[in-house]
Structure 1
């Protein structure tokens, strides 16, 4: 966090003003998922859980063979898996933000915004957890290695590495949810969840972009290139963990065949790339799209 003197500088003033705008926005437009989401109506299995075009099997020969009921069952499990991955990363995010603002000036609007963001993420995680349960899904979790790497990242990441990684997770989820929240094929309570998350996460993304740019102002070439690689590796693990391999069996499909076809599904790769075009432009403008980093973004199908 900045000192009082730094806050009086142009950069400090701009940062404080951004935080004030975000606080005002949160006061005017925030939701209580416990009241806004219809938790009482039983799950209507005639709906998808996400826009089918976002399914990992959409466009494959296996998808063409599936019945509509099977497709809907799959997208409901995939949506639950994405929600579970969102919870995992939001818990990492909260730890990083708390560490960053620990024992800093509580009168600073940026400090107050950081706590507001943490409060949002707590509500989002509960909302995702209840949503996954209502979709009839098991507790999907990343692989054990990824969980332990996430634990290390949460305890050590700082500066632009922390905020740019936050941005990657939020940007990918944002595009996916924007598609589903407007899609009448998606079960209504999931559309409400997506709408709440998109509205509130838009503020978080603005903050993450601003923090990334500010932290990079003092970064030398070695630090910038090192963190560019770290961010790309974290991005790979986030994106590759979004759809758990167990969703196919949970949906009653041939898991081995589904995994095989999902891995080479060019349509899904294309959807991921298009969803991250703006993000990649931002990272490039910050000098974070280095050659070593690009290897991991390609592996994650983000470029």
Structure 2
């Protein structure tokens, strides 16, 4: 069995995560200083993770426009976080109908849903605090939000959770202490990283526990269909509307971002740890591997 994880280990891990939740959980409404002034010299995301960093468009942009682009890119990512965590909670709550309500595993799933609800509040508060407007999914992203719960079950729930959490988590860990970052954003990221670490551990342990037991058909279904995350994330990170709100030509900005080596390096960095884990548990199947590589997440 993958990583030697047994059913009894499942309860042990859940109990440990519950203990961690008691010791280190946050209430963003009071644990973030929402009234602290914003510094016009600082950015809302560090330069190195802004999608246009290093491009011809970037070189021509004054500081004020770079700051506005960082505001829009942050609002875009936070908006995606809201609808992803909404989607994850719906899947977890549905699957709890078949779980033992006395099990520590069930209790931690409910605890995680509570965390995610607070995160959605935190993201919404931060979008408002930085003076931005939310972005709502369109096209493939909207279909995913509305339709994926109909097709995602069992192992796919945990794969989807990891895809939605780990890419952002890796990037947050890389940038949350950057000197040029607005303090309120840095504080939000530190809270999110602390609590998401437990969520990622929960999903990884569950997937590793069940990976060797999967029927061949389920492995192929999950392992190949998960490649849909690649175009979804690329579309998210290069959302044309955020460039337009920053006063740029949306079509040209999107083209330059998708061909930007700095942007491609950031996406590969965000996916690296998750990609290795999915390989280790046998969930990286040929179609999804080709899709992640085509969209720049794998070298």
Q: TM over 0.5: same fold? A: yes
- Choose from 63, 76, 82 the match for 1:81: 76
Name the structure 1 match of 2:114: 119
1:236 pairs, out of 231, 236, 246, with 231
Is the alpha carbon distance of 1:76 and 1:52 closer, same or farther for their aligned partners in structure 2, counting shifts above 3 Å?
A: same
Secondary structure of 2:25 counterpart: coil
User: Which residue number corresponds to residue 278 of structure 1?
Assistant: 273
- Report the Cα distance in structure 2 between the residues aligned to 1:140 and 1:63, rounded to whole angstroms: 22
More RCO (CA 8 Å, sep 6+): 2
- Of 258, 265, 279, 2:260 maps to 265
Q: Deviations over 1:44-83 (max 9, x none)?
A: 3321111110011011111111112211111111011001
Partner residue of 2:212?
217
CA–CA separation in structure 1 for the residues paired with 2:28 and 2:41: 23
Deviations 1:81-127 (A, max 9, x none): 00100111101100111111115322100000000000000000110
Could you say what the CA RMSD is over the residues aligned between the two structures, in angstroms?
A: 1.6
- The answer on whether the counterparts of 1:49 and 1:190 sit within 8 Å (CA) in structure 2 is yes
TM-score normalised by the chain length of structure 2: 0.93
2:96 counterpart residue number: 101
Aligned to 1:251: 246
Q: Which of residues 139, 142, 145 is equivalent to 2:137?
A: 142
Distance change in 2, residues 1:198/1:147 (3 Å)? same
Question: Structure 2 matches for 1:180-191, cutoff 5 A?
Answer: 180-191=175-186
- For residues 235 and 259 of structure 1, do their structure 2 counterparts lie closer, same or farther at Cα, with a shift above 3 Å needed? closer
Taking the aligned partners of 1:232 and 1:162, their CA distance within structure 2 comes to: 14
Asked if 1 retains the 8 angstrom alpha-carbon contact of 2:211 and 2:282, the reply is no
The reply on whether 1:156 has 2:151 as its aligned counterpart is yes
Q: Partners of 1:254 and 1:147 in 2: how far apart? A: 24
- Cα 1:235–1:96 shift into 2, 3 Å: farther
The number of residues matched between the two structures is 294
Structure 2, unaligned runs of 5 or more:
none
Which residue, out of 59, 69, 73, partners 2:64?
69
- Report the 3-state secondary structure (helix = DSSP H, G, I; strand = E; otherwise coil) of the residue aligned with 1:276: helix
| Structure 1: runs of 5+ lacking an equivalent | 1-9
Equivalent position of 1:45 in the other structure:
40
* Range 264-273 or range 187-196, more displaced: 264-273
Please give the alpha-carbon distance, in whole angstroms, between the structure 2 residues aligned to 1:145 and 1:92. 15
Post-superposition offset of 1:41? 2.8
Instruction: Output the CA distance in 1 between the equivalents of 2:172 and 2:27.
Output: 18
Deviations 1:214-259 (A, max 9, x none): 2323212222111111222134314432442111121222323312
Contact 2:51 2:237 in 1 (8 A): no
Moved over 4 A (4+): none
Instruction: Please report the TM-score for the alignment, with normalisation by the length of structure 1.
Output: 0.92
Q: 1:167 aligns with which of 162, 170, 179?
A: 162
Report the Cα distance in structure 2 between the residues aligned to 1:131 and 1:110, rounded to whole angstroms: 31
